[in-house]
Amino acid sequence: MEEKRVSVVTPKTGGKPENIHSFNLKKALEETKEKHNEPRERQSVKTDDNRVKAQSEFSLADVSGALETFLATLGEEDKAAKIALLSHAPKVEGFVITIEVDNDFLLTRVMDLHPALLSFLMKKLNNGYITLNVQIYVEKNNGEEKKRLFTSKDKFEHFVTINPAVGELKALFGLEIE
C-alpha cells in the first residue's frame, strides 16, 4: 500500500505546495512556546523547607523518648535495628548523640536507618544541629581480657568464686560436673 501525502498551497509559501503534516508540527511548536512563556507563578511548585533551624536543648530522657517513638514507627522487618537501638542507653554530650551497638551486623542495620533516624531526632527534639554517632559497644574491663566460660567445669568454678556455698553443696551431695 502506498502512503498518500496531501499538499496544500498557501499564500505564505508563495504558491509552493506544503505538506499538511508540517502544519500539525508548527501548531504543536507554537502551543509549546505559549505554554513555556506563561508566567512562572501559575506553574510554580511549592517546595517545603524541612530543615530544622532551631537549637533547642535536650536531655537523655528526651532522646530516649524520641528513640522509643522512632522504634514504634519501624516495621517488623527492622527487628534487628530495634534490638540494636534498645540494647544500650544512648549517650548525650551537648548536641552529639552516641548510640552503641553490640556487633558489626547491628552496626550496618542501624547505619541503614541513620538518615531517617537523624531527621526524626532533629524534628522531635527541635534541634537542627544534632550529630548522631553509631559505634560498636566496647566493654570497659581495665585492659584485662575477659575470660569466656565454655565448659561446665569453667562455669562451676566461676560460680564457686562468686558464692563458695555452691562448692560446699557439690561436696555435700557428691555431685560431679560433666
d(CA 35, CA 42): 11
Single out the residue of 167, 165, 98 nearest to residue 131, CA to CA: 98
Global confidence as pTM: 0.53
Q: Does domain 60-136 have CATH number 3.30.300?
A: yes
d(CA 118, CA 130): 8
129-150 pLDDT, tens digit each: 999 999 998 877 665 656 677 7
Hey, what's the cell of 149? 566460660
Q: Which of 37-46, 53-62, 165-174 has the lowest mean pLDDT?
A: 37-46
17-32 pLDDT, tens digit each: 555 556 677 777 787 7
Q: Where are the domains of the chain?
A: 60-136, 147-178
